[in-house]
Amino acid sequence: MSAPPHAAADAATPGAGGEPAGPRHVAIIMDGNGRWAKKRRLPRVAGHRKGVEAARNVVRAAGDLGIEVLTLYAFSSENWRRPAEEVADLMGLLRHFILADIEELAQAGVRLRVIGEYRALSPDLVRLIDGALARTADNRGTTLVVALNYGAQNELVEATRRLAERCARGELDPAAIGPAHIESELATHGLPPVDLLIRTSGEHRLSNFLLWQCAYAELLFVDALWPDFDGDRLAQALDDFARRERRFGGL
């Protein structure tokens, strides 16, 4: 029997003293901004602003904790269903984050990567994102992946369509298609699979996020609302990960 997809790349490597190494790739569904604001009788945008601060702190902590890749679910393809005013607030916060933080990220060696249909955003925002990507392209520290206008089902549909087009052109035998072919067409190609997926706010669902990449991920659902999540809570999540035994379908 062949090894399961991701098993070779995803298996924990023993660290010093024989303990499992920490996760290479951590993904976070940042949930709870609105509830954080509601508890304080504040407008939802106040929760989103506080959520940006939490993201900033977690990105800094990820580098200190040795995380190779950190993926943040910033805006899903379903979030367009929210009120137009809230969507505008979120886009404004994204602009501010890029303008205010890109130099710090660049100086810290962070490499920015964006997944999702971000080119559907406003032209000025697309230009800012492209500039931030170019500014950090040569960095070799933590890779910060931001999911913008992203949905995993659409990602898989697009990957399947591209493979079908290759088959139609005679470039690929349909019978030869395997997991590596699909992975090569995903937005996350070249990145390690997700080792640890964290969702804040006590919700227990994936919400159309990295469905393929999380096939063998450890899932951690925490009660803290996203604006209250910080570097200490991220470190606690890594401690929880270290106590788990990952078997990838084996014994």
Position 144 in a domain = yes
Question: Residue 120: which CATH number?
Answer: 3.40.1180.10
Flag whether pLDDT at 12 surpasses 70: no
Flag whether pLDDT at 3 surpasses 70: no
Longest alpha-carbon distance in the chain: 60
Position 13 in a domain = no
Position 16 in a domain = no
Q: Print the domain residue range for 204.
A: 22-148+194-242
Position 136 in a domain = yes
Beta bridge partners, 111, equal 143
pLDDT tens, 17-64? 444 478 999 999 999 999 999 999 999 999 999 999 999 999 999 999
Residues within the annotated binding site for substrate?
A: 32-36, 44, 48, 76-78, 80, 82, 199, 205-207
Residues within the annotated binding site for Mg(2+)?
A: 31, 218
φ, ψ dihedrals at 180, nearest 5°:
-65, -35
What pLDDT sits at residue 119?
96
Position 57 in a domain = yes
Position 224 in a domain = yes
Question: Given 57, 79, 154, 208, which residue is catalytic?
Answer: 79
Res. 251 pLDDT band, cuts 50 70 90: low
Q: What is the number of structural domains in the chain? A: 1
What pLDDT sits at residue 121?
95
Flag whether pLDDT at 157 surpasses 80: yes
DSSP 208-219: SSSTTTTTT-EE
Position 55 in a domain = yes
Q: Which residue has the tokens 């949905």?
A: 151
Question: Given 10, 31, 101, 195, which residue is catalytic?
Answer: 31
- What average pLDDT does range 229-234 have in this prediction? 98
* 64 catalytically annotated: no
Q: Say what the pTM is.
A: 0.90
Position 85 in a domain = yes
* 79 catalytically annotated: yes
Query: How would you class 71 by CB atoms within 10 Å of its CB: exposed for 0-12, middle for 13-18, buried for 19 or more?
Result: buried
**Going by C-beta distance under 8 Å and a sequence separation of 6 or more, which residues neighbour residue 73?**
27, 28, 29, 30, 147, 150, 207, 209
Res. 118 pLDDT band, cuts 50 70 90: very high
Flag whether pLDDT at 2 surpasses 90: no
Q: At what angle do helices 44-64 and 84-107 cross, to 10 degrees?
A: 20
Residues within the annotated binding site?
A: 31-36, 44, 48, 76-78, 80, 82, 199, 205-207, 218
